């Protein structure tokens, strides 16, 4: 399955989730409207708690930086969902993390679920990673897999 199809599959799965949460297909549209709708900025918080819009790089393991994303190319960034392709770099921690080696994997990234992040701003609270090919060993499978996690903040 190609990366484009995989992102579509991830978006479809997230849309099913979104439908279950009462969100509709217009959720990825901008929250600003000339009809008087509110204007709200959606961000993702980095490890220091600073808001970022469409970051090129994002650290998933804030405590030790043993898992991070680079080369993020954003396809969507809306008030309910953001999707990108990029590269995940994961320390294999073999034989232990300080002596481990970083392995790189192509990944499709979906930020979703939001919470308040201050006046006029909300933040993504969850991320799902989809692996179209090779993936970290901890996923336990050879086929494309999904890993989801709650973001700190």
Domain containing 10 equals: 3-24+41-150
Average pLDDT over residues 5-34: 39
Residue 20 domain flag: yes
Residue 30 domain flag: no
Share of the chain above pLDDT 90, in %: 50
Residue 31 domain flag: no
Quick check: 139 pLDDT over 80? Answer: no
- pLDDT tens track for 101-112: 999 999 999 999
Nearest to 3 by CA among 77, 56, 62, 71: 71
Residue 124 domain flag: yes
Query: Cβ(101)–Cβ(121) under 8 Å?
Result: no
Residue 29 domain flag: no
Cis amide leading into 58 (omega within 30): no
Residue 33 domain flag: no
Quick check: 119 pLDDT over 90? Answer: no
Average pLDDT over residues 83-111: 94
Number of domains in the chain: 1
Query: Cβ(108)–Cβ(6) under 8 Å?
Result: yes
Q: Tell me which H or E stretch contains 47.
A: none
Residue 34 domain flag: no
Strand ranges (DSSP E) for the chain?
41-45, 51-52, 58-59, 67-77, 81-91, 102-116, 121-130, 146-150
- pLDDT tens track for 26-73: 333 333 333 334 457 999 999 998 999 999 999 999 889 999 999 999
């Amino acid at each position: 399955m190609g990366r484009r199809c995989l992102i579509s599959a991830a978006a479809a799965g997230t849309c099913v989730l979104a439908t279950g949460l009462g969100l509709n297909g217009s959720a990825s549209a901008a929250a600003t409207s000339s009809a008087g709708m509110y204007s709200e900025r959606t961000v993702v918080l980095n490890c220091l708690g600073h808001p970022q819009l469409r970051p090129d790089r994002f650290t998933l393991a804030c405590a030790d930086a043993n898992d991070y994303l680079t080369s993020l190319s954003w396809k969507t960034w809306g008030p309910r969902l953001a999707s990108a392709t990029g590269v995940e770099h994961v320390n294999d921690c073999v034989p232990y993390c300080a002596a481990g080696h970083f392995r790189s994997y192509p990944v499709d990234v979906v930020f979703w679920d939001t919470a308040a992040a201050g006046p006029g701003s909300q933040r993504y609270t969850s991320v799902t990673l989809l692996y179209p090919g090779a993936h970290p060993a901890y996923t336990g499978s050879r086929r494309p897999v999904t890993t989801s996690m709650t973001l700190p903040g």
